[in-house]
Amino acid sequence: MRLRVNGTELRPWPLQPGWHVYEWTVPEHCMVPGINEASVVVERLADAPQGKAGGKGIAVSAVRVIHDES
């Protein structure tokens, strides 16, 4: 799984089973004044689809953007 911000791909993280927190540091040059676009990109899931629900997927419960001025 990786994060794409305004077209820039950031470091990928392997998906872990269950709920986990994934964090990325977004370089300042990736952000623009005004509206920015961020996408969580998952190319494939390890387990094949099963049952009526169609298999496993991911759920995002929250997204936080923290500006660090240090």
Tell me the pLDDT tens digit for each residue of 2-56.
999 999 999 999 888 788 899 998 998 999 999 999 998 887 765 565 655 555 6
What whole-number distance in Å separates Cα of residue 38 and Cα of residue 3? 7
Contacts of 62 (CB under 8 A, 6+ apart): none
What is the C-alpha separation between 23 and 14, in angstroms, rounded? 12
**Residue 61 banded pLDDT, cuts 50, 70, 90:** confident
Domain that includes residue 58, residue range? 1-70
CA nearest to 12, candidates 24, 26, 20, 21: 24
Domain count, the chain: 1
Task: Record the pTM.
Answer: 0.71
**67: pLDDT strictly greater than 80:** no
- The secondary structure of residue 25, as a DSSP letter, is P
